[in-house]
Amino acid sequence: MMPKGWVPLKIDASDVLLEVRAKKPLVHHLTNWVTIYDCANIVKVFGASPVMAHAREEAADMAGLADALVLNIGTLTSELVEAMLLAGISANR
């Protein structure tokens, strides 16, 4: 059952792919070491540029420069959580 007032988006995936390839966005990932290479390769295949900047000292600046931020909470450490919070605050600006 669809929520009241919900309207499905009509998006053509091929149009989205063409737009990503044209814009070549920088995608900042804060992800775990298990998936880091897969995430980078998937983003590259679609035509974007991945960056994996995990250090607390660089996370906010990198998120501010990036076109998108990906946060993977699969295997958290206290240092990664702190970097994610800083990156999220910066990305939301």
Q: Where residue 72 sits, what CATH number does that domain have? A: 3.40.50
- The verdict on residue 4 lying in a domain is no
pLDDT of residue 1: 66
Domain boundaries, position 59: 23-92
- The verdict on residue 31 lying in a domain is yes
The count of C-alpha atoms lying within 13 angstroms of the C-alpha of 73, restricted to the half-sphere facing its C-beta, is 5
Number of domains, the chain: 1
Percentage of the chain beyond pLDDT 90 is 80
Give CA–CA dist 6/60, Å, rounded.
34
CB 71, CB 30: distance < 8 Å = yes
pLDDT of residue 45: 96
Amino acid identity, position 8: P
Give CA–CA dist 9/5, Å, rounded.
13
CB 46, CB 21: distance < 8 Å = yes
- The verdict on residue 56 lying in a domain is yes
How does residue 63 score in pLDDT terms, banded at 50, 70 and 90? very high
- The verdict on residue 73 lying in a domain is yes
